[in-house]
Amino acid sequence: MAKSGQLTHLDERGNARMVDVGKKDVTAREAVAECRVIMATQTLKAIVSGKVPKGDVFSTARIAAIQAAKRTHELIPLCHPLKITKVTVELEPESPDSIRITATVKALDRTGVEMEALTAAGVAALTIYDMCKALQRDMEITDLRLLHKSGGKSGDYHASKGSRKGPRTRKT
């Protein structure tokens, strides 16, 4: 076990290693992450009205996010495969020019699901970009962050409300 402030993914010589979580208790874990996709008003209108040529943007982004959460250990080198019990993804249009993505991941395991929630939110945003890039190439993916985590020895975490500088808007 690492001492406080010590990086747990490095051994005593500074080499990368996967942390041994075998002696930790299995507990209920939950993490919530968010991000935003900022776009032109007309792009958001096309998404909401179902007029994007590639299809239903929200359904596709939601499925992509769930798949990403389940496969995070394949994408992030030192993540453990987890026993995920639930993934939910909310996609909320924020007028006039953005979509807020919130991903919640739950598991019964020995380590947290923060990376799974962050990966889910990020992949949902990338999917929105991919599906809408023919309409607009200069969309921005912003503000990917952990909002909340619970479970495990380190306890709960809640992002401070002031840690985000507020909505960014784009002139259309």
Identify the pLDDT of residue 165: 53
Q: pLDDT tens, 26-82?
A: 999 999 999 999 999 999 999 999 999 999 999 999 999 999 999 999 999 999 999
**Torsion (CA) 158, 20, 120, 100 in degrees, nearest 10:** 10
Note whether residue 68 is domain-resident. Answer: yes
Q: Using alpha carbons, list the distances in angstroms from residue 56 to 41, 49, 67, 132.
A: 18, 10, 17, 11
Task: Give CA–CA dist 142/165, Å, rounded.
Answer: 11
For residue 121, which amino acid is it? A
48 part of a folded domain: yes
Q: Is residue 53 part of a domain?
A: yes
Domain harbouring 55, CATH code = 3.30.70.640
Residue 44 resides in a domain:
yes
**What is the residue whose two structure tokens read 């776009």?**
39
Q: What is the pLDDT of residue 59?
A: 98
Amino acid of residue 32: V
- pLDDT, mean over the chain: 90
> Which residues, including other chains, have CB under 8 Å from residue 83's CB and lie 6 or more apart?
107, 108, 109
- pLDDT beyond 60 at 169: no
CA distance 128 to 33: 17
Range of the domain at 146: 29-153
Q: Smallest Cα–Cα separation from 36: which of 142, 107, 145? A: 142
pLDDT at 153: 85
Quick one: tokens of 21? 């979580």
Residue 172, pLDDT score:
39
CA gap 78, 34 in Å, rounded = 22
| Confidence band, pLDDT 50/70/90 cuts, at residue 87 | very high
Q: Residue 96: pLDDT above 70?
A: yes
Query: How many domains are there within the chain?
Result: 1
Distance CA 49, CA 64 (A): 20
Q: Residue 162: pLDDT band by 50, 70, 90 thresholds? A: low
Is 165 contained in some domain? no
Confidence of residue 95 (pLDDT cuts 50, 70, 90): confident
Catalytically active residues, by annotation: 130
